[in-house]
Amino acid sequence: MASGPVGGDNIASVRGKTTAMTRDETMRSAGDESVAKAHGDIVLSAQRISKSFSGVQVLFSVDFDLRRGEIHALMGENGAGKSTLVKILSGFEQPTSGEIYLDGKSVKLPPNGAAEALGIVVIHQEFNLAEHLTVTESLFLGREVAHFGLLDRKHMRRETRRVLDMLGSRISETAVISSLTVADKQMVEIAKAISRDARIVFMDEPTAVLSREETDALFKQVRKLRDLGTSFVFVSHKLDEVTELSDRVTVLRDGQWVKTAPTSMLDGESIAQLMVGRELSSLYPQKSEPNVDEARVLSVVGLNTAHVRDAHFDLRKGEILGFSGMIGSGRTELMEAIAGLYPRISGEVRIGDQLMPSGDIHATTSAGLAYMTKDRKSKGLLLGSDMTSNLTLQSLDQHGRWGYLSPASERTALARARRRFDIRVRDAGVVAGRMSGGNQQKLLLAKVMEITPKILIIDEPTRGIDVGTKQQIYHFIAALAREGCSVIMVSSEMPEVIGLCSRVVVMRAGRIVGVLEGDEINEQKIMRYSAGLKQKAVA
Amino acid sequence: MGANVTTQDDQAEPKRRWQDVDLRAVAPFVALALLLLLGALVNPNFISINNLANVATRSAFIALIAVGATFVISSGDLDLSVGSMVAFVASLMILFMNSGAIADPGMMIAAAIVLALVVGALCGLANGLITTVGKIEPFIATLGTMGIYRGLTTWLSQGGAITLQSAEQQDLYRPAYFGVVLGVPVPIVVVLAVTSVAAFVLYRMRYGRHVVAVGSNPNVARYSGINVDRVRTTAFVIQGVCVAIAVMLYVPRLGSTSATTGILWELQAITAVVIGGTALKGGASRAWGTICGAFILELVGNIMLLSNFISEYLIGAIQGAIIIIAMLVQRSLVRKS
């Protein structure tokens, strides 16, 4: 796309042709039996939607329809156009061309969330809740019930309780939002959608921050609402969840519609293939046998913080050590204390033989330890800055002397990082906030790797990114370990912990409750420890 | 990594097109050009080199202070005390020069300048430490020191004026404001020099990158191993030094200072920074834009003086309107990329 507008147009037109062909074929094969049955039930449909941002086309004549009372999963790699399509279908963006039909009538959806009045609600990945309000105030925000200007608090509380009960949630209607867990906030968002009589709910990665049980609870409610006639569009990267929850699946790839089919006709493997357009032969790289004779590079003894109790563990050279457990089990807090981002109350952290001072990130960085945060948007990247400033932020010393920065040196670093981490952007000057999740994650990884760490702590390495990028990151981590770097991987996705790690530490309520090795590493074992069903003394 | 993945997008650098230009960065200069045009229409004398050089010289104080404010604002803070700080530093400087501690007038002026720089830096340091170590909102912290510096000045001057007494010193020091270097008035030279240094620090040095990082997201900065408090405090110290440099030009101009010196200069400095395109919520810094902003402020006053349409007593109202318009323009020109 670098050759200017002419080149872009060419690629676009070629892509357009392929789309048209694929659509016709699939329509014939999959469409017939379902069209007759459900045609009248379509509540929202989009036809031939295209969208360009400043000359760059991101959606190519995409079709999409949503039936009454169905859960429709929208799948695709990062940058496939899912978010853009969701924004268009909810009025936050207007399509460049194409039609949207609501209840069979052509409509132009009002912008900035005003489509809520039509019963179209989006639950965003980042919550739109005011932290200081109570649950009731949040639910009734902007449509408070009042008589002669006086708020009818009692009525609003009762109504909130009713909705929460319907959802089977035990959140107090008077709780302040900031005191709620992430899962409960998600629940409040859903309650808010329901209390506004939403007929069409878009959920963008609703489970990214939820534990397994919380996810199950959420799915139960979603199914219940579906049976009452609410339609859901569910955007997720988790294939197992999509196959479990959805009724139909639509797959997008590179801004084009690839397939819409009943979920029962697909399995996780085939969806992944449709998304990527190639075989995902080996999501996880070959595990290498851990060498127990390797030197200890990191040892943690009796570490205590406000959230972590008495943590002990060692890390060997070239090892990939997994940290499993529920959200809130203290894994991130432990890692941030080790990295020196927060002070510890007591305990020792040694890198090699060197004792690390408490809460001193400079000491750990110069000792060769790098911590990659799971919060790439609020703690990892400057969303308003370009790739270069983000890449070199942690390692500016390498790019000049006496505080001077050499632009040439930084350019070289960026070119190298883009090659090494396969960061794909159309314009090298793009700000990080406009990159896709997968590219952001690669950029964050590249930034952390700029300090050439000997120990890499990577917190939720694949949160909210697509399968293809996941595979790349797994292979990168494995290659890093083979080169002698030691990796700690904190993850809530059990398959990746099982697929990559040679040893797994399980945490629960701030404590290390189990260490698994070799064949012991399986989902049941990890689950039993993290759920508190089993606990063994840890040396 | 990703040896088996082919990269679809060409990685070559695309050519810069005019759409790529950051509108927020050029907006102040466009505004300046429009003002010059307007001025020329109002009064043909306006566009003369003499008049423009005069305006630029008069804008020097605000420009210098605003360069410092660019650092503070870019790092996400705000300093309301700069106007009082000017009065305080100037008072101490003149009192020191009047004390006769050093006989030689040249040495005395040099020592007084060093004193001003040290006092300015210390005032900035105080603001920085109260904000970072004391963890007090910069708005409140500097509102407090604004009162303190102003009060100390009033006390030092006993409510009146502090005037430079030695005629010898005055004669020797006068060229620092009224002098000319290669045909350019000294204040303009100083402003250009200080801004060049500031722009270099902001765009080409590690510290500048840290300032922008802290201003756009202190969490990201902290997780990247940046000492956020040190960066913020340093920005306040730079602000103090910039105030001292402005005082160095202010003292030879009038040879006198009073309790009312520098009143409302903080507002003008902040206005200049905002007109210049620096984001008030931190994260984007434009040193040259700031200078342009200071010049625009003075230019508006000049046009009002030269024209007969609007009373010059309305200048405060006009400047107030400008800051609001600048914010609205900044908001509408969201960077496209």
Is there a contact between A454 and B34 (Cβ–Cβ < 8 Å)?
no
Residue partners of B49: CB distance under 8 A and separation at least 6: none
Structure tokens at B127: 């603001």
A1-111+236-278 and A294-368+454-539 agree in CATH topology: yes
Identity of residue A409: S
Q: Which CATH superfamily is domain A294-368+454-539 in?
A: P-loop containing nucleotide triphosphate hydrolases (3.40.50.300)
| This prediction's pTM | 0.75
Q: Which CATH superfamily is domain A1-111+236-278 in?
A: P-loop containing nucleotide triphosphate hydrolases (3.40.50.300)
CB contact under 8 A, A447 and B9: no
Identity of residue B154: T
DSSP string, B17-47: -GGGS-HHHHHHHHHHHHHHHHHHHH-GGGG
CA torsion sign for A89, A91, A96, A97 is positive
CB contact under 8 A, A4 and B206: no
Is there a contact between A441 and A474 (Cβ–Cβ < 8 Å)?
no
CB contact under 8 A, A365 and B14: no
Span between the terminal Cα atoms of chain A, in Å: 57
B6 interaction partners in chain A (CB closer than 8 Å): none
CATH number for the domain running over B51-331: 1.10.3470
Phi, psi of A97 (to 5 degrees): -150, 165
Whether residue A509 lies within 8 A of chain B, CB to CB, comes out as no
Is there a contact between A320 and A500 (Cβ–Cβ < 8 Å)?
yes
Structure tokens at A248: 């139909």
Identity of residue A27: M
Strand-pair partners of A346: A304
3-state SS assignment for residue B307: coil
Q: Which ipTM was obtained for this model?
A: 0.82
Specify burial of residue A440 (Cβ count, 10 A radius: 0-12, 13-18, 19+).
Answer: buried
Identity of residue B269: A
Interface of A with B in 8-67 (CB under 8 A): 54-55
Distance between B209 CA and the closest CA of chain A, angstroms: 7
Domain boundaries, chain A: 1-111+236-278, 294-368+454-539, 381-452
DSSP string, A254-274: TTEEEEEEEGGG--HHHHHHH
Is there a contact between A473 and A300 (Cβ–Cβ < 8 Å)?
no
Nearest CA among A273, A248, A300 for reference residue A467: A273
Q: What is the DSSP letter of B276?
A: T
CB contact under 8 A, A361 and B216: no
Interface of A with B in 413-442 (CB under 8 A): 415, 418-422, 424-431, 434
Whether residue A143 lies within 8 A of chain B, CB to CB, comes out as no
pLDDT tens track, chain A, 539 positions: 333 333 333 333 333 333 333 444 444 344 444 443 444 588 998 999 998 876 677 888 999 999 999 999 998 876 678 888 998 998 888 898 999 998 888 888 887 777 878 888 888 765 677 778 888 888 888 777 777 777 788 888 888 898 888 777 788 888 888 888 777 887 888 888 878 778 899 988 777 767 777 788 788 888 888 888 889 999 887 788 888 889 999 998 888 898 898 988 888 778 877 877 765 557 788 877 777 778 899 999 999 998 899 999 999 999 999 999 877 789 999 999 999 999 999 999 999 889 999 989 999 999 999 999 998 988 999 998 999 999 999 999 889 888 899 999 999 999 999 999 999 887 888 889 888 888 999 999 999 999 999 999 999 998 878 778 888 899 999 999 998 999 999 998 888 888 899 899 999 888 999 999 888 888 778 878 877 776 664 44
A383 interaction partners in chain B (CB closer than 8 Å): 216-217
Nearest CA among B91, B96, B257 for reference residue B169: B96
